[in-house]
Structure 1
Amino acid sequence: MSRSLLEVRDLRVTLRTARGPAEALRGLSFSLQRGDTLGVVGESGCGKSLLALTLMGLLPDGARVSGSVRLDGRELLAQDEAAWCRLRGHRIAMVFQEPMTALNPLQPIGRQVAEPLRLHRGLDAKAARAEALRLLEQVRMPQAARRLDAYAHQLSGGQRQRVLIAMALACQPDLLIADEPTTALDVTLQREILQLMADLVAQRHMALMLISHDLAVIARNVRRVLVMYGGLGVEQGPVDQVLRRPLHPYTRGLLAARPRLGASRSQRLHTIPGRVPELADLPRGCPFADRCAHRAAVCDDRPMPQVASPQHEVACVRWAELMA
């Protein structure tokens, strides 16, 4: 079997908070092959975006990180900032959640798309501008030549998202991370952006990590899914297996909370009781224990991932009992 492009093992990140150090990622492990697509889902505060920032080497000051993150066999956590700068935008690229704040309002779009081309590929200004135009055309930017000299505030939300994708793809990265790339876009634009990313991943044979809270988006656009809660991967596997036969109580709660077509107006939506705890308040054992209807004394110990079936793992000590 060929080596994975990305190997994450026992990844732990501790952040400074007003209440002292808090473990935000708590032993996360997964892998990603070239050409593969992984969806990362969970409620706000479960650690999805922090995972993306860790993989980009963009953790806040004072953060402590341990474990292993390997890209093509190269350990990334041991790299200094100069090495990270050579990787970011080159071999690992990210489409950030909010394009209006991710783009520089003082620089024209063409210059921003050209910047990674000049930094990482050594193109001169003329060649970088020509390549920036080609990239904008590739991401189907309307009137791309005219947009080169436009500013972010002159573009629509969908157009700004296309600019971010063009910037991320400029140096043909091995791994593309997309953090909620369709936030605030209407359904038609969502479909266009996600299809565009799928086409580009297939053409360039790169790996895609798609972060979203929308299970429908995940179901349609990735092959594998990682469900996160409390900084822990509580369930992961092929998307059809996980979403059709969820094993962890949290995954089952997320699926049950989806609105359903044809439901009567009087039918109340299922909700997961409680709320995602603050980092400093996470229980010592299973992070979902305080909200779980099936909590038992054994849940007070940190759960280890268990193999439920080939490629399908769940971090719940009672999963087999509950499914039975």
Structure 2
Amino acid sequence: MPLLEASRLRVDLRTHRGIVAAVRGMDFMLERGDTLGLVGESGCGKSMTALALMGLAPGNAVVSGSLRLNGEELVGLRDRAWRAVRGRRMAMIFQEPMTALNPVHRVGMQIAEPMRLHLGLGAEAARRKAIELMERVGIPEPAKRIDSFPHQFSGGQRQRIMIAMALAAEPDVLIADEPTTALDVTVQKQVLKLIADLVAERGMALILISHDLGVIAQNVRRLLVMYGGSVVERGTTQEVFTDPAHPYTRGLLAARPSLAHRLVAHRSERLPTIAGSVPDLFHLPAGCPFAGRCAFTRPSCHIEVPPELKLIDLHHVRCGVPEAIHQSLPVHDGHRESPLTA
């Protein structure tokens, strides 16, 4: 039995313009110790998926389909039941460490709260465990700083505190939504290594959400490529980045500067771009969400939902145009390049 399984998971938003689908039929399975990445440009549905997984979809959202944690159905749970799941069995590192912490509460209290609620620890025991967690995530002099407020920490330290909060009740699944946003490269590397070490140490499953292809390529074993609320390609990191099959995936990879480009390109030289612009959710085609922006678009792409085709092993692509699949990555100076090697 998978640890976490989503089947046809869907999120519809009720708005003044009508009902629109923000997530359209998400499917995946996670075993303990698995690492799964969600990648795609802003607005593709990555964060909405994470909120649905945590039972935190906005009040105007209707979540349908199936989401099972250790075989227990989560879709349709009442708020009281969700509160027993959040933090204890699934936890989330939210975007924007500068704003995600409560500014009027001391960080020690915020880290200790999940342990008091879910593990039944007393105030002193929870405080001691909070100090241990702060030390584990690399906060200097945690015993002295546990009573500090969020504004007294740097952005990287706040991100580490959020990781400590997410791990406080020892969840089975950790969701990291853009955990390196606004962090410099050095701190980003440290935070990602910390998450990877803790996941391996505790045997958790990890869902890592990012628009950064390099971060995804180097930190997860499997990934889902999302566009317009749909998964257009899935597979192992090696398979998808080495042999991208969907035109959208290839467009994302082509738009990433290669090492050769960064070294020799003239400043006026522009990177390749995907034709057109991302339509809002109300104007997505009824068929393939990428129809119209794709060079292989046929009339049927606008009205028929493309089938999901199995390529090799775990590699699947959702495309109805055979000649669009398995085009080559851009070649730079005779070398094929992807985020695995760039």
Fold in common (TM above 0.5):
yes
What corresponds to 2:315 in structure 1?
312
The answer to whether the Cα contact below 8 Å between 2:247 and 2:324 also exists between their aligned partners in 1 is: no
Q: Report SS of the residue matched to 2:27.
A: strand
Q: Name which of 67, 71, 74 aligns with 1:73.
A: 71
> For residues 153 and 23 of structure 1, what CA distance do their matches in structure 2 show?
37
Correspondence list, 1:1-324, <5 A: 3-263=1-261, 264-265=265-266, 266-300=268-302, 301-319=304-322, 322-323=325-326
Letter in 2 for 1:296: R
Q: Report SS of the residue matched to 1:191.
A: helix
> For residues 173 and 299 of structure 2, what CA distance do their matches in structure 1 show?
41
Q: Which runs of 5+ in 1 are unaligned?
A: none
What is the percent sequence identity of the aligned residues? 59
Q: CA deviation at 1:321?
A: 5.3
Letter in 1 for 2:39: V
Letter in 2 for 1:293: A
Structure with larger RCO (C-alpha < 8 A, sep 6+): 1
Superposed CA offset, 1:17-48 (max 9, x none)? 23111011111111111101011000000000
Superposed CA offset, 1:155-210 (max 9, x none)? 00000000000000001100000000000100000000000000000000000000
Q: Which runs of 5+ in 2 are unaligned?
A: 328-342
Letter in 2 for 1:282: L
Q: CA deviation at 1:320?
A: 5.4
Superposed CA offset, 1:36-94 (max 9, x none)? 10110000000000000000001111311211001111100031110000000110000
Letter in 1 for 2:101: L
Q: CA deviation at 1:312?
A: 0.7
What is the number of residues matched between the two proteins? 322
Letter in 1 for 2:281: L
Letter in 1 for 2:309: Q
Q: Report SS of the residue matched to 2:234.
A: strand
> For residues 230 and 185 of structure 2, what CA distance do their matches in structure 1 show?
31
The answer to whether the Cα contact below 8 Å between 2:246 and 2:324 also exists between their aligned partners in 1 is: no
> For residues 258 and 312 of structure 2, what CA distance do their matches in structure 1 show?
29
RMSD of aligned residue pairs (Cα, Å)? 1.1
> For residues 203 and 298 of structure 1, what CA distance do their matches in structure 2 show?
49
TM-score by structure 1 length?
0.97
> For residues 4 and 229 of structure 1, what CA distance do their matches in structure 2 show?
26
> For residues 88 and 124 of structure 1, what CA distance do their matches in structure 2 show?
20
> For residues 276 and 69 of structure 2, what CA distance do their matches in structure 1 show?
38
Q: Report SS of the residue matched to 2:292.
A: helix
> For residues 149 and 135 of structure 2, what CA distance do their matches in structure 1 show?
17
> For residues 320 and 89 of structure 1, what CA distance do their matches in structure 2 show?
46
> For residues 3 and 36 of structure 2, what CA distance do their matches in structure 1 show?
13
Letter in 2 for 1:303: P
What corresponds to 2:333 in structure 1?
none
> For residues 290 and 55 of structure 1, what CA distance do their matches in structure 2 show?
31
